[in-house]
Amino acid sequence: MNPTAPAYSPLNILFAVAMVVLPTIGVTSNSSEGANQQAHTTAIRDAAGQGTATSSSLHSELALTPPMGWNSWNAFEANIDEQKIRQIADAMVSSGMKDAGYTYLVIDDGWMAKSRGRNGNLVGDPNKFPTGMKAIGDYIHGKGLKFGIYEDRGHLTCQQLPGSFKHEQADMNTFASWGVDYIKLDSCFAENNGRLSTEDYSIYRNCITETGRPMVLSISDFGNGAWAWGGEDMAQLWRTSGDIYPWMDSVYHCADTSGGAQSIHPAFNGLWQFAGPGHWNDPDMLQVGNLKNDTQNKAHFSLWCILAAPLMAGNDLTAMTEQVRRVLTSPEVIAVNQDLRGIQGYKVYDAGDCEVYNKPLSDGTTAVLLLNKGRPEADITVHWDKIGLSGNQPVRDLWTREDLGEFKDSFTAHDLGQHEHRMIKVGRPGPPLPTPATMPLEKYAVTRHGETCLSDLYYIWKADNAPAYDAAFGGDPITVAGRTFKKGIGCKSKCAVMFKVDGRADRFRATVAMDKSSKEDAKGRFRVYNEDFFGNRVLWDSGEMRKDSPAKEIDIELKDVSCLMLVFDGDEVLGNWADARVISKSEGDYR
Ligand code: GAL
């Protein structure tokens, strides 16, 4: 991805196609089919104005569009066995799910025996899968589907079955020998590995490559910032959230981790700029069919489609109603999700309880979702100038598959009850419509030598309370021991915030203290981490600090740190990272 790429016009798209696509295809014409596919991806991205796929995204040919399939977890949790899985495989075909594009059948946690076999290899639970995992894989393949499986990078899975830690190559070889096509790699117990997430997932990436079998790698880490620390180089998709549950608050929360500001600085307007062919933000698997009614199922499905999210059905397909089947197989809504241009939809209007998403498509039209999340009734309007159009435009309803006629300057969805929405396609075929400019790298990563105040960079991931910039959490100036600091980060615990330093920072400096407005008995703790929580690599720890504790100076060396995470813990207390900054010694502009 080229984050500095400017918004484009139809003219420079044509220029990009002529200047970039032709040479790209020429260069790769002698190489493998995979490389040609890569060139194809590059061509699509370039034609779409999204910049060139990086050479590190070698495996991106595996998921040019968001993966579609079914996963056992949301329907059955660990209560799975081979009979159920075979019935699901049958139902995927007979229900029309396969024809609608659902390809992967992923067996989630609970498939393994409690201990490894005598040779140390993973084996299926002999009671649940008596004929073995290769046989179930063969059955799945026999149905024309692809075989997905769950593992965990810790020493145990979340269900406390054998994890892959220290068995990485052997397990990937086992999966390859069973004909696995897709691996969901979870992160329970990974904090004991002593490895950063980037180290861990790179190991798996290499082990998968080593098997010689193309297998999609799905990062399952509850949304710990893979878009920030390089998930694109290791995997085809990464979670942006904790687990999804079958109720709308959870659905909306998960959607907002990818499409809104739940997990990243609001200035990014969601994670759309980090997704594209071969690398997708994953707000977790579908609960369509497990929600209360058709309205909720449809709202959830439309959101995932406009977000270019992986579509992993999570309902019991053997007991699916016709109404749910129609939602999951709705062709024109799925086509939005699977559009080859691979743009993730982004919000163009957000009133909290009502929102409008826009997803420009490869044919020059654009898909728009108008959703009432919270009001008893609402009219929601999309103005053409917010989606790169003007004048009279044809509108088509993607659920009813009806042309609604031409609309001048805007379209209003009237009388939407709570959770109701319209999903429409606007415009005429032609050159692709522009997306907003992506956030330039220098706004969210260390790109120059000298000093960079962290509050001059947008954070790239956060958990719990969002921090204040250049102020204490309540908005007062940051004051430590009578001295006022212009720069710094104000936190209310808990607050974890990640900055992308891209290996370009040699030192981190700050002065930390509890905020003067904290309650008298306030206690807090400041910690600096290399990357995310899983690596457990604490670079600096204040220990417990009280309101009257003297400020502590931090001046530490950083080495090969891709992301720096500042964590402030305590019981709803305020603390400040005054003058938080990194120093880069190396000369030159890094862009
Ligand atoms: C969770 C994961 C779920 C499911 C579960 C299995 O960590 O987020 O999607 O895989 O583990 O135990």
Kindly state the tokens that stand for 190: 């990974």
* The predicted structure's pLDDT at residue 61: 84
* β-sheet with 421-426: strand ranges across: 346-350, 354-360, 366-372, 421-426, 392-397, 402-408
DSSP of 183-209: EEEE-TTGGGS---HHHHHHHHHHHHH
Is any ligand 1 atom within 6 A of the Cβ of residue 287? no
Q: Which residue in this structure is represented by tokens 């030192």?
A: 507
User: What's the DSSP call for residue 21?
Assistant: I
Mention every residue, 6+ apart, whose C-beta is less than 8 A from residue 470: 455, 478, 486, 487, 488
pLDDT of residue 283 exceeding 90: yes
d(CA 94, CA 215): 26
Q: pLDDT tens digits, residue range 350-388?
A: 999 999 999 999 999 999 999 999 999 999 999 999 999
H or E segment to which residue 529 belongs? strand 523-530
- For a ligand 1 pocket test, name from 106, 107, 108, 238 the mutation site with the most ligand atoms within 8 angstroms of its C-beta: 108
Which burial class, exposed, middle or buried, applies to 177 when counting CB atoms under 10 A from its CB (0-12, 13-18, 19+)? middle
HSE, side-chain direction, 13 A CA sphere, residue 306: 31
- How confident is the model over 323-344, as a mean pLDDT? 98
pLDDT at residue number 312: 98
Nearest to 252 by CA among 212, 283, 231: 283
**Mean pLDDT across the stretch 569-576?**
95
Check pocket membership of 243 for ligand 1, CB cut-off 6 A: yes
Q: Please tell me the predicted confidence (pLDDT) of residue 32.
A: 33
pLDDT tens-place string over residues 517-533: 988 899 999 999 999 99
Give the amino acid at 129: F
Q: Is the CB of 232 under 6 A from ligand 1?
A: no
pLDDT over 90 at 321, yes or no: yes
| pLDDT of 443 | 97
Cα–ligand 1 centroid distance for 109 (angstroms) = 7
Residue 220 has pLDDT above 80, yes or no: yes
**Which of 163, 236, 155 is CA-nearest to residue 194?**
155
- Is 90 assigned a catalytic role? no
Ligand 1 neighbourhood includes 186 CB (under 6 angstroms) = yes
pLDDT at 43 over 90: no
Residue 453, token pair as written in the block:
């105040």
Contacts of residue 290, defined as CB under 8 A and 6 or more positions apart, other chains included, come to 74, 75, 246, 314, 315
pLDDT in tens, 90-104: 999 999 999 999 999
**Under 8 Å between Cβ of 512 and 566:** no
Which residue puts its alpha carbon closest to atom 3 of ligand 1? 243
Give percent above pLDDT 90 in the chain: 87
Lowest mean pLDDT among 27-41, 396-410, 462-476, 534-548: 27-41
What was the pLDDT predicted at 22?
A: 24
pLDDT band for position 230 (cuts 50, 70, 90): very high
Which amino acid residue places its CA nearest to atom 8 of ligand 1?
243
Mean pLDDT, residues 203-209? 97
Q: What is the mean pLDDT of residues 227-244?
A: 96
How confident is the model at residue 518, as a pLDDT?
A: 87
Rounded mean pLDDT of 334-349? 98
Distance CA 102, CA 302 (A): 16
Specify the pLDDT at position 581: 98
Q: Is position 221 annotated as part of the catalytic site?
A: no
Q: What is the pLDDT of residue 8?
A: 28
Between the CA of 221 and the centroid of ligand 1 the distance, in Å, is: 9
- Give 58 or 448, the one with higher predicted confidence: 448
Residue 328 CB contacts under 8 Å (≥ 6 apart), including other chains: 97, 100, 102, 286, 288, 289, 301, 313, 315, 320
- Listed range (8-22, 45-59, 102-116) with the worst mean pLDDT: 8-22
Separation of CA 157 and ligand 1 centre (Å):
9
- Non-local CB neighbours of 427 within 8 Å, separated by 6+ positions: 364, 365, 366, 389, 393, 394, 433
CA-nearest of 483, 493, 463, 480 to 565 is 463
Which residue's CA is minimally distant from atom 6 of ligand 1? Answer: 109
What number is the average pLDDT over the span 471-494?
Answer: 95
User: What pLDDT band is residue 42 in, cutting at 50, 70 and 90?
Assistant: very low
Over residues 546-556, the mean pLDDT reads 96
pLDDT at position 110 over 50:
yes
User: How do 448-453 and 574-589 pair as beta strands?
Assistant: antiparallel
Q: What is the mean pLDDT of the chain?
A: 90
